[in-house]
Structure 1
Amino acid sequence: MDHDQVRDVDPDVADALESEVDRQRETLQMIASENHASQAVIDAQGSALTNKYAEGYPGSRYYGGCEHADEVEQLAIDRATELFGAEHVNVQPHSGTQANQAVYFAMLEPGDKILSLDLTHGGHLSHGHPANFVGQLYDVAQYEVDAETGYVDYEGLAEQAEAFDPDIIVSGYSAYPREIEWERIQETADSVDALHLADIAHITGLVAAGVHESPVGVADFVTGSTHKTIRSGRGGIVMCDEEYADDVDSAVFPGGQGGPLMHNIAGKAVGFKEALEPAFEDYAEQTVANAKALGESLSEHGFSLVSGGTDNHLVLVDLRESHPNTSGGDAEEALEAAGIVLNGNTVPGETRSAFDPSGIRAGTPALTTRGFDEDDCRTVGDLIARVVDAPDDDSVIADVREEVTDLCAANPLYDE
């Protein structure tokens, strides 16, 4: 990647940018919410559209000179509509959290009730954590996965909904390795006259490729991130039936945001075009196959996987049984020293602090983008096990770091 013009103006930032590219090239990015965007997406996000204010929507802006911004945003909308089959799409949210915010603002009043999955069981801050605006503005109750099986307890969810009487039920999760039964949750929502928001932030690409069941056409609202498994411009998206379109659009702008980030929307448009190509389905299928292979490898090394495996792009490991003296934070730190970047994560029935949890979460979207296959991911599982088995052994970490370097060299990223 060329940062020469940045270097002419600001060598310090140029050094940091080049170091970040080197870090991504030379380490394995396994944070489940991360991916490697194509050079085309990166170029679109760094385009002259960063200069353009375009408050409003295509064909109805509050500024002049928006004809090209209109074209780009409409391309993003049309491509997302084709990918997901949604009646209405808004591509302006700056993030998945702001996409969720738009739905809440459109449909709820402060104090209304939200029923969502607990953060420590795989939910997300924007689903109702007290530190987030959602927990501060709304009355939130949270359901859990079954601590024994690791699966969503759908019967318990239905019973809790009956008792709590929510205005909206949130499904879709940030650390849940299994397929989600959208229709079952919709049935529960219908039974208590609640709306249903399905947040597909992590699995947007898997849904777009048809390798995970879609909630579009099932849930009332579908939100997501556009930079995770779908590898497009960084930001969020809201999809809904036409009857909610005006309320959602007004909640995004002017309700929650001002000018849209048109350069990011350009990145979304390019990424969505890439996702419409047949090769993207192959990528999504390989991402899931790689996660299964990674999970199998870790299981063979004695690690306990939440729910016993995975149906999607991530594995969630509970270290309490296999490595009771090693926290997720300890494992994260040792693995990063060895060139494997993932995150410590809470697990169902968490007994430690969320700041130093009992598990680790590992994803395969970025590895798959680099060209990794199942055999590569089994090897990565072996490397993870070696480090977590001996997190304080510098020689083990050094040996694994050399093997990581070889894997990265065999699967190059952003070649100059």
Structure 2
Amino acid sequence: MTPAEPFYGPDFTQLAGQDPEVAQVLLDEVARVRGGLQLIASENFASPAVLAALGSTLTNKYAEGYPGRRYYGGCEVVDRAERIALDRARKLFGADHANVQPHSGASANLAAYAALLQPGDTALAMDLQHGGHLTHGSKVNFSGRWFHVVPYGVRRDSELIDYDEVRDLALRHQPKMIICGATSYPRLIDHAAFRGIADEVGAWLLVDAAHTIGLMAGGAIPSAVPYADVVTFTTHKGLRGPRGGGVLCTEELASLIDRAVFPFTQGGPLMHAVAAKAVAFGEAMRPEFAAYAAAVAANAATLAEGLTAEGMRPVSGGTDTHLALIDLRGLGVSGADAERRCAAAGVTLNRNVIPYDPEPPTVTSGIRVGTPCVTTQGMGVPEMREVASIVVQAIAHPGAVASVIERVKGLTATHPAYPRVD
């Protein structure tokens, strides 16, 4: 990130002159990602074009409401940005309706709950310990405090979603809404099966595609849109956009979703983020993004295979998506220790519970690894084999950290994050 890179606002040189302390934070973060391997499944590197929109003067504009129906004057320019984002989102995903104002995936889920449920209503969602999300019924989250959320999980033998259990629970509890989607489930979700179960009990079907929306956009995995009443998503993971969320829904639910986002759960949208979402949607509509999405999935599969060959066990035997969940119990190492050992070697990943984990979330028996960032850097199948070997060496041989660091430097030197542009 050099002063020459365009951000269409005050440049970095001006920031460095006015606030060198914060400027140094920006420089240090770029140095951090350039100097290590980023394997967090929920992260990616937004393009310079997305960053330019985020750093624009659109951040100054209050625009409560929707295009053509604002509560402030002077919105004729930002209206154009939101209409572009909406048009691109509908076209990209083949959806009847889109809302691009949610500030995050959690905000998008809150809006979906608000649109479809009343406090105290019953919903069915994936157990957090088996790969679900805080907004899928955790007692420390609004979803678990305001609604009666019945959890479903994965089978002990296959570690795959037990669709028979889902149907049985739905018939028994008669939920008003069924939620599918996860943060650490590596396999494809059968949206058609969930649609059938939802129809059988007269429930709405909400697909939380925060993690998989980029793969869907690129055609690497099947889309949830044809099956769901509502799809919530984030724009900063596989889509490589700004931090934020969005909602797709049927025309029948359009007004309910829009009113649930504004004015029920949010105030004014972040118009610089909306413009950046429009940029990201535009990038995702290009042929090269489809190639990127396919490479993300192929890299994840190769990484899981490489870790297996090195003695680690992928949960469910592998992955169909952008992430793998790794059981470390065979190595006698906790997820927390593995995370620390990898960090010391320049590899960023996160500890993660595995299904039926005997350890608490602060410790865990597993780690989660993802390939969106390294794929954005141009790494492919050969590099993933090297990454697998690096991860194993960092975890199993912490005394060899110096040699691991050199191997990491070798990869990042040839595949840097945010390559410097003259």
Contact 1:211/1:284, CA 8 A, preserved across alignment: yes
Q: How far apart in 2 are the matches of 1:147 and 1:398?
A: 39
Compare 95-104 and 382-391 and name the one that shifted more.
Answer: 382-391
Identity, in percent, stands at: 49
Q: How far apart in 2 are the matches of 1:51 and 1:250?
A: 24
Q: How far apart in 2 are the matches of 1:140 and 1:333?
A: 34
Q: Secondary structure at the match of 1:114?
A: strand
Q: Secondary structure at the match of 2:120?
A: coil
Q: How far apart in 2 are the matches of 1:260 and 1:75?
A: 15
Q: Secondary structure at the match of 2:233?
A: strand
Asked if 1:329 corresponds to 2:336, the answer is yes
Q: Which residue of 1 aligns with 2:350?
A: 343
Q: How far apart in 2 are the matches of 1:160 and 1:413?
A: 46
Q: How far apart in 1 are the matches of 2:284 and 2:265?
A: 28
Please report how far the alpha carbon of residue 107 of structure 1 lies from its aligned counterpart in structure 2 after TM superposition. 1.2
Structure 1 unpaired stretches of 5+: none
Q: How far apart in 2 are the matches of 1:155 and 1:40?
A: 46
Matches within 5 A, 1:195-210: 195-210=204-219
Matches within 5 A, 1:233-312: 233-312=242-321
Q: How far apart in 2 are the matches of 1:111 and 1:382?
A: 49
Q: Which residue of 2 aligns with 1:410?
A: 414
RMSD: 0.8
Please report how far the alpha carbon of residue 415 of structure 1 lies from its aligned counterpart in structure 2 after TM superposition. 2.7
Q: Which residue of 2 aligns with 1:313?
A: 322
Q: Which residue of 2 aligns with 1:125?
A: 134
Please report how far the alpha carbon of residue 277 of structure 1 lies from its aligned counterpart in structure 2 after TM superposition. 0.5
Compare 281-290 and 144-153 and name the one that shifted more.
Answer: 144-153
1:3-24 per-residue CA deviation (whole Å, 9 max, x = no partner) reads 3222122111111111001001
Asked if 1:114 corresponds to 2:114, the answer is no
Please report how far the alpha carbon of residue 162 of structure 1 lies from its aligned counterpart in structure 2 after TM superposition. 1.1
Q: How far apart in 1 are the matches of 2:419 and 2:193?
A: 46
Amino acid of the residue matched to residue 38 of structure 2?
Q
Q: Secondary structure at the match of 1:237?
A: strand
Q: Secondary structure at the match of 1:123?
A: coil
1:339-394 per-residue CA deviation (whole Å, 9 max, x = no partner) reads 11000000001100111111000000000000000010110000101111123x1x
Q: How far apart in 2 are the matches of 1:215 and 1:380?
A: 31
Q: Secondary structure at the match of 2:331?
A: coil
Q: How far apart in 2 are the matches of 1:98 and 1:59?
A: 23
Please report how far the alpha carbon of residue 271 of structure 1 lies from its aligned counterpart in structure 2 after TM superposition. 0.7
Matches within 5 A, 1:163-242: 163-242=172-251
Q: Which residue of 2 aligns with 1:56?
A: 65
Q: Secondary structure at the match of 2:304?
A: helix
Q: Secondary structure at the match of 1:271?
A: helix
Please report how far the alpha carbon of residue 147 of structure 1 lies from its aligned counterpart in structure 2 after TM superposition. 2.2
Contact 1:41/1:270, CA 8 A, preserved across alignment: yes
Number of residues paired by the alignment? 411
Contact 1:94/1:261, CA 8 A, preserved across alignment: yes
Compare 275-284 and 210-219 and name the one that shifted more.
Answer: 210-219
Moved over 6 A (4+): none
Q: Secondary structure at the match of 1:140?
A: strand
Contact 1:233/1:269, CA 8 A, preserved across alignment: no
TM-score (norm 1): 0.98
Contact 1:234/1:267, CA 8 A, preserved across alignment: no
Q: Which residue of 2 aligns with 1:33?
A: 42
Q: Which of 160, 165, 181 is matched with 2:169 structurally?
A: 160
Contact 1:233/1:266, CA 8 A, preserved across alignment: no
